């Protein structure tokens, strides 16, 4: 059985969306992975199919109810044994390439898409899982985050990407942002392709690309570069 994803959402019509096209879509059609949606509203207990209520203590907005979320998770979990439970939330841990890779090596995921002001806090203890965020910003709901997360995982599944070597040099795979790329024409609006890339000297090209990746990372992501430098120092000490 391939990688299996179950998405719990108030908007199942948002899926597969972009995941039904390009690499992810071809892999889905070829059964490299599977996608199922669960409509959380199907577990509402009133004629209005209410899934939320006003926040205890007052305040704006609405909060997703823990009892309804738990019922939806339990129903989905009946056929999802061994799959990690992930809550898409702006207060979650930042999503990383390392995390995507670890999930790609497992049986699949169950993703819960938050909406409104968030979810009743008790659901995280009643149905323990991992809270994950795309970054320091807020979306209208967890669905766009779930689409991005699954796209990141699916492209790492065996057979989805054409060349494994190309993935090994991508941003974040080696602790750095990716080096610059060039292609034809050789001269564009007065700027030439760097001569080293046309030299045929593979060692010189590799060295140039490493230098460029380090420089770009240091400038644009000093936090990432600091971790990269620390990792290099740790490796040197071990040697």
Q: What pTM did the predictor assign?
A: 0.89
Structure tokens at 40: 């959380």
Residue 140 CB burial class (10 angstroms; 0-12, 13-18, ≥19): exposed
Please state, as a whole number, how many other Cβ atoms lie within 10 Å of the Cβ of residue 7.
28
Domains, the chain, ordered by start? 3-154 (3.40.1280.10), 169-238 (1.10.1270.20)
Report d(CA 86, CA 110) in Å as an integer.
Answer: 6
| Contact criterion met (CB below 8 Å) for 184 and 191 | no
Check if the beta carbon of residue 35 is closer than 8 Å to that of residue 7. yes
pLDDT of residue 81: 66
170-198 pLDDT, tens digit each: 667 788 999 999 999 999 999 999 999 99
pLDDT tens per residue across span 75-122: 999 866 689 999 999 999 999 999 999 999 999 999 999 999 999 999
Residue 70: how many other CB atoms lie within 10 Å: 16
**What percent of the chain is modeled with pLDDT above 90?**
85
């Amino acid at each position: 059985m391939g990688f299996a994803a179950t998405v719990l959402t108030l908007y199942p019509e948002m899926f597969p969306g972009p995941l039904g096209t390009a690499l992810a879509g071809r892999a889905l059609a070829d059964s490299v992975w599977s996608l199922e949606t669960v409509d959380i509203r199907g577990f509402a207990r009133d004629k209005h199919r209410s899934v939320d209520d006003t926040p205890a203590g007052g305040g704006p907005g609405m909060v997703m109810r823990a009892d309804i979320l738990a019922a939806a998770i339990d129903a989905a979990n009946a056929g999802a044994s061994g799959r990690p439970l992930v809550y898409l939330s702006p207060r979650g841990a930042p999503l990383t390439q390392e995390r995507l890779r670890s999930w790609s090596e497992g049986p699949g995921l169950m993703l819960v898409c938050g909406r409104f002001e968030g979810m009743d806090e008790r659901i995280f203890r009643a149905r323990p899982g991992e809270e994950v965020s795309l970054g320091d910003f807020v979306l209208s709901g967890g669905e766009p985050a779930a689409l991005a997360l699954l796209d990141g995982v699916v492209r790492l599944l065996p057979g989805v990407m054409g060349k494994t070597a190309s993935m090994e040099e991508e941003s974040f795979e080696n602790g750095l942002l990716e080096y610059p790329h060039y292609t034809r024409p050789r001269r564009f609006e007065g700027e030439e392709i760097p001569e080293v890339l046309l030299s045929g000297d593979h060692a010189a090209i590799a060295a140039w690309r490493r230098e460029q990746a380090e420089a770009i990372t240091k400038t644009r992501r000093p936090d990432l570069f600091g971790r990269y430098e620390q990792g290099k120092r740790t490796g040197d000490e071990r040697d």
